[in-house]
Amino acid sequence: MRIAAAATLMLVALVACDVTPRPEPVVVYASGEDETYWSSWFAGFTDETRIPVTVKFGESATHTDFVIENKGSPPADVLLTANVADIWRAADKGALRPIRTGKMSIVPGNLRDPDGFWVAQSYRLAVIVNHRQTGNPIVNSYEYLARPELSGQLCLSSSELALSRSLIAMLIIDLGPKPAERLVRGWVRNLATAPYPSEIELLEAVRSGTCVYGILSDTLADGSIGVSVPEPAYFDIRGAGVARHSRHPESAQLLIEWIIEEQSLQAAIASQHNVGVAGWRDEDARLLAERAGYR
């Protein structure tokens, strides 16, 4: 009896000693566009690694400012931005650590920072869409949308939206500032209505026939409208990087590696550009849109 009791006590002691302290949470600053999606998504990382994730939601630009200025409570370990402009800005200001994982090599070169400070979490292409019932031809170039014969047929979403700005920034790189501005002015002359605040509203306008043509993210285009993908492709991303002042850099690096594996961004984009150029020319794109009357 005494031996059995001693063995039981020893077993209890061994079990107690075997309890591993749970790691501290990785703090992620993420865009607040879809809180339910992010919360459930990171649950998969925790299931695999036992590392909990605390997600702080808010505006992409504000979170980027916090990471640059080392503000926010709790401070960020990982920054997830809604666009390339913000993740590029964070890297440019020295607010990110290099991503230390061999998994970076599986991501196409135009979807990651050449110096290894950020990587795309996802991407969206700009596509030209058209109302199916008009009988008008499919348009597969942005230059065609500026032709005088399309007067009153084009709709755009706000130039403040990420894809709109990335598109203009890449056009500046490809065409040069003045030709790009003439192109955007041509779009503005052909507008059927003022630019829409959101891409969802633009999509509904094309579906209803208010607009014959529009420029949308490929993630929104569906079978209810005609779609063409101009080449070279213009695109924007959600960016991911490890904050320079991360309190848990090793766990943050593991989370970035997990993001890369989960997203499987091996598919090449038919573009000669690294998406980072859109971040570099973002302010030029904003000023061009302002001069052209594209709000």
Return the HEC string of the chain: CHHHHHHHHHHHHHHHHCCCCCCCCEEEEEECCCHHHHHHHHHHHHHHHCCCEEEEEECHHHHHHHHHHCCCCCCCCEEEECCHHHHHHHHHCCCEECCCCHHHHHCCHHHECCCCCCEEEEEEEEEEEECHHHCCCCCCCCCHHHCHHHCCCEECECCCCHHHHHHHHHHHHHHCHHHHHHHHHHHHHCECCCCECCHHHHHHHHHHCCCCEEEEECCCCCCCCEEECCCCCCEEEEEEEEECCCCCHHHHHHHHHHHHHHHCCCCCCCCCCCCHHHHHCHHHHHHHHHHCCCC
Class for domain 22-123+236-271, per CATH?
alpha beta
pLDDT of residue 12: 41
**From the CB of residue 214, how many other CB atoms can be counted at a distance below 10 Å?**
27
Mean per-residue pLDDT, 62-75: 94
pTM: 0.88
Q: Where in the chain is the domain with CATH 3.40.190.10?
A: 22-123+236-271, 124-234+280-291
Short-list 270, 260, 286, CA closest to 118: 260
Between residues 168 and 270, which one has the greater pLDDT? 168
Residue 11 confidence class, pLDDT cut points 50, 70, 90: very low
Between residues 152 and 295, which one has the greater pLDDT? 152
Class for domain 124-234+280-291, per CATH?
alpha beta
> Does residue 177 contact residue 170 with C-beta atoms inside 8 Å?
no
pLDDT of residue 34: 67
